[in-house]
Amino acid sequence: MDNINLSEWYNPTEAAIVISKNSGKVIRSEYVRKLAEYGKIRKVKISNRASLYWKADVDKYLVEERGVKSARAKKKAKLSNEAA
């Protein structure tokens, strides 16, 4: 494994705090792990039980209210169909 510059990575708790602050709601570290699993934020595994999360990805991630992305996608699709 290459050397890791720890100033560029968050541990799960730190990542959850940052995403919580950005989103205005409580986010747990388990959710951060799921985000990494889904490829939404990058991670590096440092042991069998520990991972770090890329600060640049975490700092810009925003958790929206349920249905917001879906509603935005439906509106976009409707506009596309009307234009066609």
Set out the domains of the chain in order of their start, with CATH numbers.
Answer: 6-83 (1.10.10)
Task: Name the DSSP letter for residue 67.
Answer: T
Query: Which of the pair, 17 or 80, is modelled with greater confidence?
Result: 17
Give CA–CA dist 63/54, Å, rounded: 17
What sign does the CA torsion over 15, 21, 24, 26 have? positive
Tokens of 47: 């042991």
pTM above 0.85, yes or no: no
Residue 84 has pLDDT above 90, yes or no: no
Give CA–CA dist 84/42, Å, rounded: 37
pLDDT at residue 67, as a whole number: 63
Residue 82 has pLDDT above 90, yes or no: no
pLDDT in tens, 19-75: 999 999 999 999 999 999 999 999 999 999 899 999 999 999 988 777 666 666 677
Residue 15 has pLDDT above 90, yes or no: yes
Strands (E), 1-84: 9-10, 43-45, 51-54
Note whether 12 and 29 are within 8 A (CB): yes
